[in-house]
């Protein structure tokens, strides 16, 4: 009589382990798939946010120009302004947008 319960226990244990194995395989496959999606998204974001070498050179030149002229920034300098600013857009009566060379943008309020 002991052999029957023992074979029943073994059979149930095997069934439970098989179901658990299937569940874990599915669970880990979903985790792996999600990790791949997140890694792809991370690479995409890195590519979108990477700085082009030409832009990096332009930024470096601009910063050097600012450092070189830092003591002269007490008054308006047309040459420096032309070297640093690509465009100034009037957004509204009270707001302008300044676009620096290299793509950096600043929005500022205009005093009345």
Number of structural domains found in the chain: 2
CATH label of the domain that carries residue 87: 2.40.50
Look at residue 1 in the predicted model and tell me its pLDDT.
Answer: 47
Do residues 3 and 40 both lie within one domain?
A: yes
Q: What is the distance of C-alpha 18 from the center of its chain? A: 42
Using CB atoms within 10 A of its CB, is residue 98 exposed (0-12), middle (13-18) or buried (19+)?
Answer: middle
Q: Which domain holds residue 13?
A: 1-50
Whether residue 70 sits in one domain with residue 91: yes
Give the tens place of pLDDT for each residue, 40-90: 999 888 888 777 777 778 778 877 877 776 655 577 778 878 888 889 999
Label residue 31 by pLDDT band (50, 70, 90): very high
Q: Are 93 and 45 in contact (CB under 8 A)?
A: no
Residues in the chain: 112
Does 42 lie in the same domain as 9?
yes
């Amino acid at each position: 009589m002991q052999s029957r319960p023992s074979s029943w226990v073994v059979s149930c244990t095997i069934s439970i382990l098989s179901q658990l194995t299937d569940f874990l395989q599915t669970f880990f496959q979903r985790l792996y798939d999600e990790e791949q999606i997140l890694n792809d998204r991370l690479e995409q974001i890195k590519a979108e946010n990477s700085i082009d070498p030409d832009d990096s050179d332009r930024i470096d030149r601009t910063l050097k120009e600012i450092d070189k002229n830092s003591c002269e920034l007490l008054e308006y300098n047309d040459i420096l302004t032309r070297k640093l600013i690509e465009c100034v857009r009037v957004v509204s009566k009270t707001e302008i947008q300044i676009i620096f060379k290299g793509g950096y943008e600043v929005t500022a309020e205009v005093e009345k």
